[in-house]
Amino acid sequence: MATGRAGKTLHRMRRDTAFYWSVAPFLLIFLVFSVFPVLFSLYLGFNRWDGFTDPQWVGLENYGRALRDPVFQKAIGNTIYLWFWSSVVTIGLALGISVLINDYVAFGKSYFRMVFLLPLLVAPAIAAIVLRVFFSANGGIVNLLSGAMTGTPSYFDWLGSEAFIKPLVVLLVVWRWTGWYIIIFMAALQSIPRDIYEAARMDGVGRWAIFSRITLPLLLPSVAFAAITATLGGLQMFDEPYVLTQGLGGTNNSATTLGMYLFATAFTRLNFGVGSAVSWYIFAAVVILTLLYQAGLKRLRGASA
């Protein structure tokens, strides 16, 4: 019996040889560029390695060193701030704009989708240059307008201010990514049957009640997807604060994120062990928040059922 099964398996493998050869390049690339880096990063998290000498086993020392570093602690606070406010403002703004377009624009909705998606096509470096034109200390448009209104020249250093650099990063993230979430919400809104809205209006239900009791519950899966993707991007945020602060993290590391701290630790100071440990801290945070989102979504679905 066992011999017969083995023979059938070998016959099936010979028959499907062409299939295995066709997927082999993808599997090889996946193993080399996805699986191996993850496993190697996990290995480096328990070693001290500068990229040149042999790795030295240090156990959990890298994880402890990261937690004791004041810059890492500040990066955690900065990342939470940037993730929370950029997610709330971006998703809220995108949801509001999507509902307005869906309710009040009869023709040309694809035009609005294209226009709002354009900022995402702009490279972060170019977007940062544009923002610097507005908020530069010398000759920035905001300072020029402030001086014109007050009658006194203004040279406030917005990008060097610890109080304003994080809101400016949030502004840049919102400008770049709102269009992406508008696409998601508009697709979800157009999948809702119009008969539901017509029946609600015939029953005298107001606009706010329609939105809060019909539209929003039906959009919960899309909102959850947007929240999860915003969390993935927010906790790994690197491009916007890096280009806006020119890689310095702002005054007193006021805009240094976990992604920037990881990059500086691993590729500037060549401490790949601590850098790998930080990457796994970020991974753990993403997993925990994703599970919390899913649990919250299940509760909301159960409450609305």
- Taking only the tens place, the pLDDT of each residue in 141-185 is 888 888 888 888 888 888 888 899 999 999 999 999 999 999 999
Lowest mean pLDDT among 50-59, 175-184, 192-201, 280-289: 192-201
Return the closest-CA partner of residue 274 out of 44, 112, 40: 44
| Spatial separation of the C-alpha atoms in residues 68 and 102, rounded to whole Å | 50
Q: 255-284: b or e for each residue (b if 16 or more CB lie within 10 Å)?
A: bbbbbbbbbbbbeeeebbbbbbbbbbbbee
pLDDT > 90: percent of the chain? 38
The two structure tokens encoding residue 112: 């609005």
Q: Where are the domains of the chain?
A: 2-35, 62-304
Q: State the pLDDT at residue 14.
A: 67
Q: State the pLDDT at residue 127.
A: 86
Contact criterion met (CB below 8 Å) for 154 and 143: yes
Q: 109-143: b or e for each residue (b if 16 or more CB lie within 10 Å)?
A: eeebbeebeebeeeebeebbeebbeebbeeebeeb
Q: State the pLDDT at residue 182.
A: 92
Return the closest-CA partner of residue 167 out of 261, 285, 260, 78: 78
In terms of pTM, does the model score above 0.95?
no
Give me the mean pLDDT over the 250-263 stretch.
Answer: 92
| Spatial separation of the C-alpha atoms in residues 170 and 240, rounded to whole Å | 9
Instruction: Report whether CATH 1.10.10.10 matches the domain 62-304.
Output: no
Give me the mean pLDDT over the 176-198 stretch.
Answer: 88
Report the SS3 class of residue 161: coil
Which stretch of DSSP H or E encloses residue 56?
A: strand 56-57
Averaged pLDDT of the chain: 86
Sign of the Cα pseudo-torsion (153, 157, 161, 165, in order)? positive
Angle at 179 between CA 177 and CA 184, to 5 degrees: 105
**48, β-bridge pairs:** 56
